Structure 1
Amino acid sequence: MLSCDANVFVSKSTLETMEELLQARIPNSHYIYNTFNAGEILKKAAESLTSSLEKEIMARENLMVSVGRLCHAKGYDMLIQVHAELMNEGVFHHIAVVGDGTDFQKLQKMIRRLGVQDSFFLLGSRLNPYPYMLAAKCYIQPSRYEAYPLAVGEALILNKPLISTIAGGIPELIIHRKTGLLCQFNKNALKRTISEMLYNPHLRRDIRKHQREFDAEKIYCQINTLMEELLLR
């Protein structure tokens, strides 16, 4: 890192974490968020689903969608527990997760054990997750750990009300109660946040209004500016 012209990180929190681990300031450090091709995302989101079963799932009431690897870091085990508890308390909703991973079988067993197989769905990996995200009432990110999740930025582009735990660079993407809702990684906090998002249409409307200010092009400008500075040295 000492010999590099620039050390670029995907978020401010990632840079700070690395400096904390090294117990030193990293020279020539920058953070530039991951880029998004908004036009391509919107184009792919308009594609139709081919499976009749998936069409039926995506049409369900109070549907939340998440996209990510099925692993411990992503927090889907807690999300399943939260979902089951909310259903038992009369907060009816559905959740579909797009993605695969080492915890697939473990999570599937948990879903069956808690009796929520008719309302919590593991759809597996999909080349194009955007039609699923677009069909949802809101997008949910229940992560334990994160760097800078692309799916959250993609949900902003798709103008989906967002729920996320506070992890990694997520608070740099979501402004609490403006472009989404943030909560701590624990069951009670996530339960309260889901309930508020589902049953407060005025909040969802305001969030979607503020999300329209998200400008993916600013990230490209940051990259171009950094490259120009390096070339002029």
Structure 2
Amino acid sequence: MKKNLLFVMPSLSAGGGEKSLVNLLSQIDYSLYDVDLFLFSKTGVFINSIPREVNILDLPDDYKVFTRELKISIKNYLKNGQINLAYSRLMFSVKNRMVKSKAISEQYTWKYQSMSFEILEKEYDVAIGYLEKSSIYFVADKVNAKKKIGWIHTNYSNSGMDCNFDNPYFEKLDYIVTVSEECVKSLKENFPHLKNKIRVIYNVVSPKIINNLANKEIQDNFKYDMGYTNIITVARLSYEKGIDIAIKSCRSLINKGYKIRWYVLGDGSEREKLESLIEGNDLKHNFKLLGIKENPYPYIKKADIYVQPSRYEGKSIAIDEAKILHKPIVVTNFETAKDQINDGENGTIVDMTEEGISDGIEMLIKNIDFKNNLVENLSKEKLGTEEEINKLYQIV
């Protein structure tokens, strides 16, 4: 008899956690498992990549109203006599404005958002909140399941989250899964009493799928500039991804006389700020934000160098994908960098500064033998992690 699994996720926007979920779902044996997916928003660039066997659940009507513009939402609730929901919607908005930290605001507003959800009728064998915060809170509060799992995709110590808020939710979980040994260490430091629940399952990446997609034509007539060093970064436009540092590094390289074209695939809350920084450094023709691409792999494959300028990461899927495509890689020395890159062997780890990044790129431009050696080492490395799905089967 098949087991019933539920995955919960905010959306399928272009992020590492979202891509990780799509990759994992592509590896599940659907002869053994029936899988439901609950999304707070049925949107995102990966929505069309969900396997056809996965059943995406409908959103409850009260929550649909909750997500509408504030005045419209409150008016609808009051019209239907739902005073508690009208109050919750108002407080959700007020709290979001009061709390400056995005990480903490999502935690502290959950009690108001949760009022718009009923407990799901179906009982599951296993329910998985596949991203930190709301997905896990939903599984803890709104799902009947024999076993509950929470998935953490970031280094908890650097996340800005309040561990005192998360603690009662984590105590309701049977397992806490994270994506690297460094992330395990961080969770054990913050939740030492829950250390026996913590497991590591690396992000699922498939070289076969990535290489097939990388061989497809770029659809938007984009072409790299001949005669330039073409650099690619795949990242959300958010503070932790360090795109602002990359912009300054680009300026530094151009000041030294290098011909650079640097492209970033992704979008996010800092786009306007980054565009101003690009313009202020006179880089409109050198540093370009290309937005989200459903298939980023042809862009990565055809680039000369891959750079990850992050301030912190859990475990970067984009780095694993660049490795699979045998790109010379420059990464900053965030805490989990060494989980993926052996400095000088399959990439180079640099200081988290504009000088560090620009020096790393300059070394790859000037030292062709070193660059070719990185590529050769990557070509010999076993890079697929499809077997990670077996770790999930074991705890399920």
TM-score (norm 1): 0.89
- In structure 2, what is the Cα distance between the partners aligned to 1:20 and 1:186? 27
Residue 375 (structure 2) aligns with? 208
Asked if residue 154 in structure 1 is aligned to residue 321 in structure 2, the reply is yes
SS at match of 2:380: coil
3-state SS in 2 of match to 1:212: helix
The answer to whether residue 178 in structure 2 is matched with residue 12 in structure 1 is no
Contact 1:163 1:193 in 2 (8 A): yes
**Distance of 1:60 and 1:50 partners within structure 2:** 23
Partner of 2:240: 73
C-alpha change, 1:50 and 1:221, in structure 2 (3 Å) is closer
Letter in 1 for 2:217: S
CA contact (8 A) 1:35 1:216 kept: no
User: Is 1:50 aligned to residue 219 of structure 2?
Assistant: yes
Q: Are residues 225 and 14 of structure 1, via their aligned partners in 2, closer, same or farther at CA, if it must alter by over 3 Å?
A: closer
Counterparts of 1:12 and 1:180 in 2: how far apart (Å)? Answer: 19
> Is 2:386 the counterpart of 1:220?
yes
Which stretch has the larger CA shift, 97-106 or 24-33? 24-33
Match of 1:137 in 2: 304
Residue 132 (structure 1) shift: 0.6
Alignment-derived partner of residue 27 in structure 1? 196
Is the alpha carbon distance of 1:226 and 1:108 closer, same or farther for their aligned partners in structure 2, counting shifts above 3 Å?
Answer: closer
Question: 2:118: which partner in 1?
Answer: none
Distance 1:167 1:24, change over 3 A: farther
SS of the residue 1:164 aligns to: strand
When structure 1 is superposed on structure 2, of 20-29 and 162-171 the one drifting more is: 20-29
How far 1:160 moved relative to its partner?
0.5
Match of 1:125 in 2: 292
Code of the residue aligned with 1:178 in structure 2: it is E
Structure 1 stretches of 4+ moved >4 Å: 1-6
Q: Show structure 1 runs of 5+ residues with no match.
A: none
The structure with the largest alpha-carbon Rg is 2
Q: Compute the displacement of 1:19 (Å).
A: 1.4
Structure-2 residue corresponding to 1:102: 269
Three-state SS of the structure 1 residue aligned to 2:326 is: coil
Give CA-to-partner distance per residue, 1:44-94, whole Å, 9 cap, x none.
Answer: 111112333x21x35562111000100101000011011112211213221
1:212 is aligned with what amino acid? S
**How many aligned positions are there?**
227
Runs (5+) with no aligned partner, structure 2: 1-169
Q: Percent identity?
A: 26
Cα offset for 1:2?
6.1
C-alpha distance in 1, partners of 2:208/2:298?
A: 14
CA distance in structure 1 between the aligned counterparts of 2:273 and 2:356, rounded to whole angstroms: 24
Give, in whole Å, the separation in 1 of the partners of 2:227 and 2:326: 19
Return the alpha-carbon distance in structure 2 between the equivalents of residues 202 and 24 of structure 1: 49
Higher RCO (C-alpha 8 Å, min separation 6):
1
Match of 1:86 in 2: 253
Structure 1 residue identity aligned to 2:203: N
Name the residue aligned to 1:175: 342
2-structure distance, mates of 1:85, 1:31: 39
Preserved CA contact (<8 Å) 1:58 1:135: no
TM-score, L = length of structure 2: 0.54
CA gap of 1:112–1:215, structure 2 versus 1, over 3 A, is same
1:186 aligned residue (353, 363, 381): 353
